Each structure stands twice: as C-alpha cells, then as structure tokens.
Amino acid sequence: MNVRTETSRLVPRDAADVAAIVAAATGALEPVGGGSKRQIGKPVAADVLDLRALAGIVSYEPAELVLTAQAATPLAALESVLAAHSQRLVFEPPDFGALLGMAEPQTIGGVLAANLAGSRRVTAGAARDHFLGFRAVNGRGESFKAGGKVVKNVTGYDLPKLLAGSWGTLAVLTEVTIRVAPAPELDRTLVVAAGSVGECLALLGAALRSPHDVSAAGVDPQRGSLLRLEGFAASVEARTRALCDELKCEPSDVLEGAASRECWQRLAGGASLAQSPVVWRISVPPTDAPRVLERLEAEQYLVDWGGGLILAAYEAVDAARVRGALTAGHATLLKAPAEARASTPVFQPQPPAVAAAAARLRHAFDPRGILNPGRMD
C-alpha cells in the first residue's frame, strides 16, 4: 500500500486502499467524495478520507437501463454520459451548491449516501429507489457487496436502501450500480400564477390525482404553482390541454427543455433561499402542508412533491418550532452555521425503539464508531 498522506487527509488510490485505510484507522474518518455536502449534518472531527481517485464509469448498458460507476464519479460527468444516450437519472438529484455556498462538485456516491432526490420524487421515487447495488467498505475495513447489477433483484437484504441516506455512517461506498431512465422528448413546466398558498396546494393535489401523468408539482411563492408534464411531444401537448381543462386553469407561463429543468433544479435546490442562514428540509403528508406552513411561520419557503416537501428559511435555528409544527414526517436541518448544527439534532430524532434498532445497525457495520461519528446524531 502506498498511500499519500497529507495532514489528516487520506487519499486511497482504489477500493483496496479504502479497505486498508479503514482497517488500519485508529481514529475517526470522514468519507468525502466531492465535498459538496460536508456542511450538512452535525460537524465531524475526523481525518478526511478523500475518495476522489475512485472516479469513472465502470460499465454502462443503455439498453439494460443500468450503470455502474466508481462512487466518487462526479455527477456532472455521469449525467453528461447519460445525456449522450438520451438517458438520465429520473430522481434528478438536487444541487444545494448555491444554497450552501459550496462550489464543490457532487459525486454519485454522495448523492446516494444522502438519498437526495429532486422534484420527481413524488412520482418516480428517490435516489434509494434507483440504487440497485454497491461495493463498500464497512467500519471494520471489510470490503463487501450487496444488491446486484440488474434492475430486478430480491436476493438478500436490500442493503442499498439502508445505505441510501446513511450519510457515510455505515460504510464507505466504493462502487455503485444505479438504474437509469430514458430522457423525455419534451420536458414542459406550466406556471400557474399564484393564488393563496392554499389554492396553490389544492391545485397541486388535483394535478397529481389527475390521469394526465403530472411528473412534478411544486409552489414557488414568487411565481405560483409549477406543474411538470414530460414525455413524447404529442403526448405532452395533449396532456397539457386535458390537464388545463380539468383544473380549469390557464398557465401564465410555459417553460420547456433547459428552462423547465432549470426551474425545477432551482426549486429542489432551494437556490432562492441562499440568502437565509438557516434552511430546513421538511417531509410531511401532502395534505398536512397548509397547516404545517402556517405553524412554521417561515420567513421564506418553497414547496415541492405536491405539498410533501417544504424548504423553510429562517434567520435562526428554532428546532422546537419547526419540529413542533409537524404531526407526521420529519425535518432535517439542511443549512445552518456549524455551531448551530453542533448543538441541534440535524436529523429528525427517532422514537426510542427505532433509535435503538438504528444504533444496533450502526454497531453491526461500524462497531468502533469511526465512520462519520456523530454526523447523524
């Protein structure tokens, strides 16, 4: 093993190095791909495990809808390879760079480890739903695999689900296999000028209950309701008419192609909230949204997932108010100064029995507690 060591920065060349480093580690390690999400979660005091060398697409079979890549493959590079084959990641990972003031690139492993999904989450699933398999190194330094490299697989526990959203606290992903999807011929967003937030939310619900295959539905209070229709052009045209007839609404604006994608990326990434020092990402049953929004008293907010996701912006962290506003769901402190994140549970506190199960799982993967210790506490 020939590992270059900077001060507290360990730089494996490959997955075997990752295993050797973790096995030999005597202290805490923070797995870092691109580093774009290092400001999310409780601050971690640890040596950086810099995974940048684990980049590159291992195999890509467009007709199989499957792609395998090293975990630290930059997301942008991966998405451009997909685009060249008229495919995409249907879960549309959000980019929090503008919101968090981070210029670092996202990696596919980071997106999966954080289980981040954009606006299409409500109809097409989250990152977890497209995460088919992986190779990883657990906290014992053991290299292991789970899942598979085909789109349909129920062999063994679905560990990709468990690792999705575990923020590097269970294992260090080294290689991931994901399901990819065809890109639509036409991506169209209907902007329906704002009524009250209640009227907007009612419109989103009606749109998602319609048979017109609305793929995303959100509210940007600056613009109004946003409804997305995608697919073959002829179909999108017909569905646009049918949807507007059914909802009795007239779009004030229609965005297509790159403009449509940009609109949803700005919404999911919370770009318009970048000036706020504190932003919560809140998942609730969609019909709870009007009451939750009222109780949140946010200075600014955005709504996505048909009402199921709220980004709420504040000047200061008030976890009791935010979490107290929910009767179901969960609130994650997406953006806050480090000292606030150190003193506030960033992730939703779990009921005791669930927290105990999570702790036992953590112990099973990382008995020494060296991978991102405390990040999810």
Binding to other proteins, residues 82-121 (CB under 8 A) = 86, 115, 117, 121
Binding to other proteins, residues 318-337 (CB under 8 A) = 328-332
Three-point CA angle 67, 69, 70, nearest 5° = 165
User: 144 is written with which tokens?
Assistant: 């292991």
Per the DSSP assignment, residues forming a β-bridge with 217 are: 227
- Binding to other proteins by residue 239, rule CB under 8 A? yes
Among 40, 100, 122, 173, binds other proteins (CB under 8 A): 122
Among 211, 250, 258, 315, binds other proteins (CB under 8 A): 211
Taking the least distance from each CB to other proteins, the nearer of 134 and 314 is 134
Taking the least distance from each CB to other proteins, the nearer of 181 and 194 is 181
Closest CA to 368 of 9, 18, 23: 23
**Residue 178, CA distances (Å) to 10, 61, 67 in order:** 27, 11, 5
Taking the least distance from each CB to other proteins, the nearer of 130 and 223 is 130
Task: Give min distance, CB of 219 to other proteins, in A.
Answer: 16
Tally of CB atoms within 10 A around 6: 10
In sequence order, the 6+-apart residues with CB closer than 8 A to the CB of 81 are 57, 60
Taking the least distance from each CB to other proteins, the nearer of 62 and 374 is 62
Stretch that binds other proteins, among 2-10, 45-53, 63-71, 249-257 (CB under 8 A): 63-71
Task: Give min distance, CB of 21 to other proteins, in A.
Answer: 17
User: 165 is written with which tokens?
Assistant: 């959203």
- Binding to other proteins by residue 291, rule CB under 8 A? no
- Binding to other proteins by residue 369, rule CB under 8 A? no
- How many residues bind other proteins (CB under 8 A)? The answer is 86
Binding to other proteins, residues 13-52 (CB under 8 A) = none
Contact 227, 207 (CB under 8 A): yes
Residue with tokens 């997106």: 111
Q: Which residues of 123-141 are buried (b: 16+ CB within 10 A; e: fewer)?
A: bbebbbbbbbbbbbbbbbb
- Binding to other proteins by residue 152, rule CB under 8 A? yes
Taking the least distance from each CB to other proteins, the nearer of 48 and 226 is 226
Per the DSSP assignment, residues forming a β-bridge with 303 are: 219, 310
